[in-house]
Amino acid sequence: MSLLSAARAALRVYAAGAAVILAQLLRRCLGGFAEPAFPPQPERVALVTGGTDGIGYATAKRLARLGMTVIIAGNNKPRAHEAVKKIKQETLNNKVEFLYCDLASLRSIRQCVQTFKKKEMPLHVLVNNAGVMMVPQRNTVDGFEEHFGLNYLGHFLLTNLLLDTLKESGRPGRTARVVTVSSATHYVGKLDLDNLHGSRGYSPHAAYAQSKLALVLFSYHLQALLAAQGCPVTANVADPGVVDTDLYKHVFWGTRLVKKLFSWWLFKTPEEGSWTSVYAAVTPELEGVGGRYLYNEKETRSLEVTYNLKLQRQLWATSCQMTGVPDVTRDVFSR
């Protein structure tokens, strides 16, 4: 990628962020964000990736407050133990635990799923939340560009490995749910299937936006697969808005300064940012409903190209090859 294309990608990402911030500001001026109410969820089990910090932590805490058994999957053991302890104390729900999962390693993801399956627990909600943003060019353990490898491929593999448990745990009228956290930056993302490794020039902005676009395409194709198989599982996308978390630690210092000074006014809190994920995970309004892009607890349209079935299939097939997952969609959709 040339310097000019990288600068364009950065401008597009900043423009997408600025548009969301303006909308959030307007909403604050017109009365702010109202915390949605959700019904209790006893007997349900949720797994939240990246549940140690930010939006994931707030999501895990809210689900625990609703009575769910919550498993926090992450790669930071000390943070995780602290998070589990705090959630237990604050929600008085003892059914919170930690499962080690480094999403930047396919082996670690497989081990995490193996450990989870040994527990012989059901799984009703999977929240694909963890992520990194605008990191310098580096690779995952398996040699994938980090945004694509961790944010997208890691969740692709995790979801596929947990799909049988999700299918067994859902039932008609009470489906299991896969919630995948994307971002408004997907609107300015481009999926370059020939440069998924970022080897033909790297832009951290383009790489992040691409990973978030890939997650939307994946989620829609997953929903199509589940619907075609008649499984009691749904897949939706949650867009949290612009939220005050540590995700911004790799961005340009000027942006970090603006965030430090004005985040209380311009950004959502992690709790506000978690509401759309929690909504997607538990609201009765979405019972049996999948393939939606949710923002501010409402359905909205994602980027036009995300509805392109051919691109969804191409990405799915490529992801299967990259992760060693058998491509069942080929048989399902060729019938």
Ligand X SMILES: NC(=O)c1ccc[n+]([C@@H]2O[C@H](COP(=O)([O-])OP(=O)(O)OC[C@H]3O[C@@H](n4cnc5c(N)ncnc54)[C@H](O)[C@@H]3O)[C@@H](O)[C@H]2O)c1
C-alpha span between 252 and 229 (Å, rounded): 45
Smallest distance from the beta carbon of 188 to ligand X, in angstroms?
Answer: 13
Give the residue closest to ligand X by C-beta: 54
Contact indicator for 189, 215 with CB cutoff of 8 Å? no
Q: Which is nearer to ligand X, 74 or 170 (CB)?
A: 74
Instruction: Print the binding letters for residues 135-164 with ligand X: x by CB under 6 A, - otherwise.
Output: ---------------x--------------
Contact indicator for 324, 106 with CB cutoff of 8 Å? yes
C-alpha span between 136 and 246 (Å, rounded): 16
**Ranges within 61-90 binding ligand X (CB under 6 A):** 74-76
What Å distances lie between residue 304 and 186, 236, 240, 255, CA to CA? 11, 16, 20, 29
Q: Which is nearer to ligand X, 175 or 237 (CB)?
A: 237
Q: Which is nearer to ligand X, 69 or 105 (CB)?
A: 105
What Å distances lie between residue 290 and 49, 151, 175, CA to CA? 20, 21, 10
Smallest distance from the beta carbon of 54 to ligand X, in angstroms?
Answer: 2
Task: Select the residue interacting with ligand X from 50, 170, 290, 291 (CB under 6 A).
Answer: 50
53 touches ligand X (CB under 6 A): yes
Task: Select the residue interacting with ligand X from 96, 106, 131, 316 (CB under 6 A).
Answer: 131
C-alpha span between 149 and 70 (Å, rounded): 25
Q: Which is nearer to ligand X, 21 or 315 (CB)?
A: 21
Surface-to-core class of residue 300, CB atoms within 10 Å of its CB (0-12 exposed, 13-18 middle, 19+ buried)? exposed
DSSP string, 29-79: HTT-PPPPP----TT-EEEEETTTSHHHHHHHHHHHHTT-EEEEEES-HHH
Smallest distance from the beta carbon of 141 to ligand X, in angstroms?
Answer: 9
Instruction: Print the binding letters for residues 224-253 with ligand X: x by CB under 6 A, - otherwise.
Output: ----------------x-xx-xxx------
C-alpha span between 181 and 216 (Å, rounded): 9
Helix, coil or strand: residue 91: helix
Smallest distance from the beta carbon of 106 to ligand X, in angstroms?
Answer: 12
Q: Which is nearer to ligand X, 99 or 329 (CB)?
A: 99
Q: Is 100 a catalytic residue?
A: no
Smallest distance from the beta carbon of 230 to ligand X, in angstroms?
Answer: 30
Q: Which is nearer to ligand X, 220 or 329 (CB)?
A: 220
Count of positions on this chain that bind ligand X (CB under 6 A): 28
Active site residues: 208
Contact residues: ligand X, CB under 6 A:
49-50, 52-56, 74-76, 101-104, 129-133, 150, 181, 183, 240, 242-243, 245-247
